[in-house]
């Protein structure tokens, strides 16, 4: 809309939660500015008093938009959807809409938090096997769901919030050496989505704060 200033995304190139928001912005064609928050440097810049004023939970992402600051990726994406509704990221059909939300919650609540950076730092030496266990456990359930709901994408043939959550989680799975081939529906949908421009431009390999050795 005219008169709106660009949203500002505080995030980290490899954060799956931040990537979700980047995908949503790209799908909606929304220009935004990025403020990198390095989760590794100096023990994690998200833990500074300065960033705590942006997001009291000291996590990424946080987005300043329409005169307020929002945190939690799904809350941000849902706000974007409600205020900038084209193209839609939720189906019109209530049953399909529920399926999208179910898949989102499975990933956002049931998989990702158990293998995020903060948790793995607490786990210590067993962090890789821990991450593999919980990603695999979640993917077993997700594969079963997608066999029922998927068309070209997670739910039918229209891109939705479920797809926005899926791609970063598959990226995490591959980082932790989970064999995604054992989940053929997840693998197929993910490969289809990665061919779409919005998923390409938002990829961790091509962000302003991507280290040179990880750039595409």
Question: Do residues 23 and 119 both lie within one domain?
Answer: no
3-25 pLDDT tens trace: 579 999 999 999 999 999 999 99
Question: Do residues 64 and 134 both lie within one domain?
Answer: no
Question: Do residues 117 and 77 both lie within one domain?
Answer: no
Last residue in a domain, options 87, 108, 143: 87
210 assigned to some structural domain: no
151 CB-near residues (< 8 Å, 6+ apart): 157
pLDDT given for residue 4 in this prediction: 75
pLDDT given for residue 27 in this prediction: 98
pLDDT given for residue 3 in this prediction: 56
Question: Do residues 121 and 62 both lie within one domain?
Answer: no
User: Which CATH number covers residue 50?
Assistant: 3.40.30.10
pLDDT more than 90, % of the chain: 96
Question: Do residues 67 and 101 both lie within one domain?
Answer: no
Question: Do residues 17 and 103 both lie within one domain?
Answer: no
Answer yes or no: are the C-beta atoms of 131 and 176 closer than 8 Å: yes
103-156 pLDDT tens trace: 999 999 999 999 998 899 999 899 999 999 999 999 999 999 999 999 999 999
Distance (Å, whole) CA 122 – CA 60: 18
Give 22: exposed, middle or buried? Use CB within 10 Å, 0-12, 13-18, 19+.
Answer: buried
Question: Do residues 72 and 151 both lie within one domain?
Answer: no
Question: Do residues 112 and 76 both lie within one domain?
Answer: no
Question: Do residues 188 and 142 both lie within one domain?
Answer: yes
151-197 pLDDT tens trace: 999 999 999 999 999 999 999 999 999 999 999 999 999 999 999 99
- The C-alpha torsion from 154 through 155 and 157 to 161, rounded to 10°, is -70
Question: Do residues 98 and 184 both lie within one domain?
Answer: yes
Question: What's the number of domains the chain is made of?
Answer: 2
Last residue in a domain, options 31, 56, 87: 87
Question: Do residues 108 and 178 both lie within one domain?
Answer: yes
83-94 pLDDT tens trace: 999 999 999 999
* Structural domain range at position 76: 9-87
User: Which CATH number covers residue 101?
Assistant: 1.20.1050.10
Number of other CB atoms surrounding residue 79 within 10 Å: 16
61 assigned to some structural domain: yes
> Per-residue pLDDT averaged across 18-35, rounded?
98
Between 77 and 1, the more confident residue is 77
211 assigned to some structural domain: no
213 assigned to some structural domain: no
208 assigned to some structural domain: no
Question: Do residues 98 and 194 both lie within one domain?
Answer: yes
102 assigned to some structural domain: yes
Distance (Å, whole) CA 55 – CA 63: 9
Please check the confidence at residue 1 and state whether its pLDDT lies above 50.
Answer: no
94 CB-near residues (< 8 Å, 6+ apart): none
């Amino acid at each position: 809309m005219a008169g709106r200033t660009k949203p500002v995304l505080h995030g980290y190139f490899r954060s799956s939660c931040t990537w979700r928001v980047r995908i949503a912005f790209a799908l909606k064609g929304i220009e935004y500015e990025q403020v990198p928050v390095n989760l590794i440097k100096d023990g994690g810049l998200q833990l500074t008093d300065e960033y705590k004023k942006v997001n009291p939970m000291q996590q990424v992402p946080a987005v300043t938009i329409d005169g307020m600051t929002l945190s939690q990726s799904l809350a941000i994406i849902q706000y974007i959807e409600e205020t900038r509704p084209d193209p839609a990221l939720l189906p019109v059909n209530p049953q399909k809409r529920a399926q999208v939300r179910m898949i989102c919650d499975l990933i956002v609540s049931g998989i990702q938090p158990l293998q995020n950076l903060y948790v793995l730092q607490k786990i210590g030496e067993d962090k890789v096997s821990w991450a593999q266990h919980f990603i695999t456990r979640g993917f077993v359930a997700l594969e079963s769901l997608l066999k029922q709901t998927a068309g070209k994408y997670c739910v039918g043939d229209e891109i939705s919030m479920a797809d926005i959550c899926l791609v970063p989680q598959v990226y995490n799975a591959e980082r932790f050496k989970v064999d995604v081939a054992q989940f053929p529906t997840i693998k197929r949908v993910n490969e289809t989505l990665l061919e779409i421009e919005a998923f390409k431009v938002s990829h961790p390999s091509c962000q302003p704060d991507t280290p040179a050795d990880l750039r595409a």
